[in-house]
Structure 1
Amino acid sequence: MIRKSIGLLAGMLVTVAVYAAGAQLRADHPDTYTVKKGDTLWAISARFLSKPWLWPEIWQANPQVQNPHLIFPGDVLNLSFINGPHVGLQPRVHSEEAAVPAIPLDAVRTFLKEMRVLNTRDVEHLPYVVGFEEADLRGTVGKNVYVRNLHADPGQRFAIVRPTHTFRNFNGGKGRDNGADLLARPLDSDVSMVRTPWLEESRFDDHFGRGEDIGTEVSVIGTAEVLRTGDPTTLLLLDSTMEIRKGDRIVAIDEKPYDPYFYPHAPKSLPGNARVIAFADAYDAVGPHQVVALNIGSQDGVENGQTYSIYQPGEEIPDDVASNSWNRGTGQTVTLPQEFVGHVMVFRTFDRVAYGLIMDGIRPVHKHDKLELPE
């Protein structure tokens, strides 16, 4: 029995060493770290791993860690060197609600609760708000709104959404890489268009044409309950984050809009031509803890928690030496190598579009930057 236990322990230590070797402990890692309120799994892992998205591989190899995805404020992370680098966790009893999140949830809360990406044709055929009680110009909480094409029973509740943007795939343009160019474009409908955090340049419409719609972003702005059926159907506005307008759409309430936990991990494969196509709260570039939209989704095998490296495509520049000319643009050209920008973790996935959070970076992230496997 003792030999069997010793053999089992030795096997565990070898496994830990193999995992740790793959995860590459940083040379400046601390000996111990006490988890604090406000920490994230990514930030903690970055203190002692050169590849922070591989943290479950080390912690899962430790028999004392019951759930490698959950650590809590007050837990002590120990690093020792027994048959190879070893991360140990001093276990305690906790409620899962107190677990340290993988990412800063405040940075993505709006996109978890309020944003969806739907099929563009489906959005065009959704029931829509056509008018308001007492001929008001806008819908306010506690008053009736009138909706067309809604088939429902009294007492049913629905979400009210406002379409903000379509994501389109532009092929054959003269943009970067001379291939498929993917951008977020504003909706054509003036009725539904609102001021939005996704900022684009309208000049691409003339350059690329309409393109192939790959999804429409909508924002949840309220909920309403059916009072009377018919066409239009009468609904009572229960709550809203802004005034309801004509053209706002009606969709079913999503009872579970997002995952309670995110587990950063490397994807098994890379979808073709994966890129950053838009971002929030910025015009030209974004950095760590800002949200970006990606042109890949569940149809490409993308799932929440997958972590990608971001690369800026290399620029095409004149090779003045080879062309024996110092006049810019008159001779041969060369494409420079792509440059690493940072890491992005997917936190919400739809059919053909996903939202990701920039986890770290050494330079700004731009639209059209390419995604690669993290190693």
Structure 2
Amino acid sequence: MNKFLLFPLIFVTSILSGKEYTVVKGDCLWFIAERQYGDPFLWPIIYEANRDKIENPHWIYPGQVFVIPPYQEKEIGVTPTALVPPPAETTAPTAMTESLPQESLQQYSPQQEEEFGEVTTVVGEKKFVFSKESALLAGFITPKKNLQTGKIVRGYTHLSKDLVLGNKVILNKGMSNGVMVKDKILFFRYGRGVHSYGTIVRILGIGLINEAHSNNAIAEIIASYEPIHKGDYFMPYKEIIPPEGKISPVLDNVEGKIIAFKNKASVVKPYDVVYITPGNGLVKAGDLFLIYRKGKIKNVGKDLPIFPVGKILIVDVREKTSSGYVVTIMGHMDIRKDDKVRLVGRVE
């Protein structure tokens, strides 16, 4: 099967209006979409326009005649650039510090943590569809607020409200709660609620435990995505393994909708984070979803059955929801809550 790169920067599709196409041996819907629209992931346009002739998108037959709806839009995509600027402070300020009590003490002095030295991008390394940091930055929706092991009591130096890369923090849990030296932890904060689905979890950064006691611990911030504050929570860090390979078109019948955006904004832009349904069991990390709307766009007497709005790359999958980045926007379309989404690509 041919493979297709996910991230064209800008391209324009151009087709004739109101065409008909006769299926030949070896065709499939995404082959036809690529020839007609220049994009194999737009096959749902053809499928929706010919639902009376296509029982299952996996099965089309030589001799069938399909209507090819007119579609001519500019697609603006994401370039592989850093998602976040470097933190304002790269090291902790010098100051008087104090130690925790020395009983039952574990200590660790970390050297450079190479794993978190890579550039934060949507597409990640060449062999990966996205980077680990991209998955963390997206956050996720949790149905219950019970993720925390504990919270930050205060910064180790007392100098600033905002805790950044290189700062140390004192935690209210220790070895009696399973917090051990060399453990990696995620700092996070609960965000706003999403009706019927739960609460957005914002990942703030990563910590490394370098001193642990029975009932408290000290962690160093080794990655910072947003300012970290006293009272923010922490939970265990679980290794993220992004999928390897390239995304190829798929014809599976997996549909859902946009249920929320990570950040409130009047206009959604490429690389903004969105949350969709469905979740685990139907969606995988690295999946590509087409955002679409039912259209009433007239052209030579024919309605466009659906109107593509953009595409989403999924980076995190939970029980009922998935997190992803808007990687393309079609023309000047605005992306809205409740817009429909359909699986069109998967890593192979």
Matched, 1:119 2:86: no
Matched, 1:354 2:329: no
The CA deviation at 1:296 is 1.6
Aligned CA-pair RMSD: 4.0
Aligned pairs (5 A) from 1:117-266: 117=140, 119-123=142-146, 125-138=148-161, 139=163, 144-150=168-174, 151-152=177-178, 154-163=180-189, 165-169=191-195, 212-241=196-225, 243-266=227-250
Matched, 1:369 2:336: no
Match of 2:257 in 1: 275
- Deviation per CA, 1:240-291, whole angstroms, max 9, x where unpaired? 35553112222223332533444143352234xx22233467723335x433
TM-score between the two structures when normalised by the length of structure 2: 0.52
Q: Do the aligned residues in 2 keep the contact of 1:128 with 1:247 (CA within 8 Å)?
A: yes
Q: Do the aligned residues in 2 keep the contact of 1:262 with 1:347 (CA within 8 Å)?
A: no
Q: Do the aligned residues in 2 keep the contact of 1:133 with 1:144 (CA within 8 Å)?
A: yes
- Deviation per CA, 1:148-181, whole angstroms, max 9, x where unpaired? 2342354223234232524523xxxxxxxxxxxx
Q: Do the aligned residues in 1 keep the contact of 2:204 with 2:226 (CA within 8 Å)?
A: no
Distance 1:143 1:262, change over 3 A: same
Matched, 1:296 2:322: no
Which entry has the higher C-alpha Rg, 1 or 2?
1
Q: Do the aligned residues in 2 keep the contact of 1:130 with 1:247 (CA within 8 Å)?
A: yes
CA distance in 1, matches of 2:147, 2:264: 28
Distance 1:225 1:342, change over 3 A: same
Q: Do the aligned residues in 2 keep the contact of 1:129 with 1:247 (CA within 8 Å)?
A: yes
Match of 1:24 in 2: 32
Share of identical aligned residues, percent? 11
Q: Do the aligned residues in 2 keep the contact of 1:311 with 1:338 (CA within 8 Å)?
A: no
CA distance in 2, matches of 1:218, 1:353: 14
- Deviation per CA, 1:2-36, whole angstroms, max 9, x where unpaired? xxxxxxxxxxxxxx9504675127668xxxxxxxx
Name whichever structure is richer in helix by fraction. 1
TM-score between the two structures when normalised by the length of structure 1: 0.49
CA distance in 2, matches of 1:290, 1:133: 34
Corresponding pairs, count: 229
Q: Which amino acid in 2 is paired with 1:18?
A: G
Q: Do the aligned residues in 2 keep the contact of 1:116 with 1:219 (CA within 8 Å)?
A: yes
The CA deviation at 1:355 is 1.0
Q: Do the aligned residues in 2 keep the contact of 1:131 with 1:147 (CA within 8 Å)?
A: yes
Q: Do the aligned residues in 1 keep the contact of 2:167 with 2:221 (CA within 8 Å)?
A: yes
Q: Do the aligned residues in 1 keep the contact of 2:291 with 2:309 (CA within 8 Å)?
A: yes
CA distance in 2, matches of 1:251, 1:360: 35
Q: Do the aligned residues in 1 keep the contact of 2:173 with 2:179 (CA within 8 Å)?
A: no
Q: Which amino acid in 1 is paired with 2:134?
A: F
Q: Do the aligned residues in 1 keep the contact of 2:312 with 2:327 (CA within 8 Å)?
A: yes
CA distance in 1, matches of 2:285, 2:335: 20
CA distance in 1, matches of 2:325, 2:222: 31
Secondary structure at the aligned position of 1:364 is classed as: coil
The CA deviation at 1:304 is 3.1
Aligned pairs (5 A) from 1:322-337: none
- Deviation per CA, 1:125-160, whole angstroms, max 9, x where unpaired? 431111232544544555542212342354223234
CA distance in 2, matches of 1:367, 1:132: 38
Q: Do the aligned residues in 1 keep the contact of 2:185 with 2:234 (CA within 8 Å)?
A: yes
Matched, 1:51 2:40: yes
| Higher RCO (CA-CA < 8 Å; seq separation 6+) | 2
CA distance in 2, matches of 1:262, 1:24: 20
CA distance in 2, matches of 1:338, 1:309: 14
CA distance in 2, matches of 1:262, 1:214: 32
Q: Do the aligned residues in 2 keep the contact of 1:141 with 1:238 (CA within 8 Å)?
A: yes
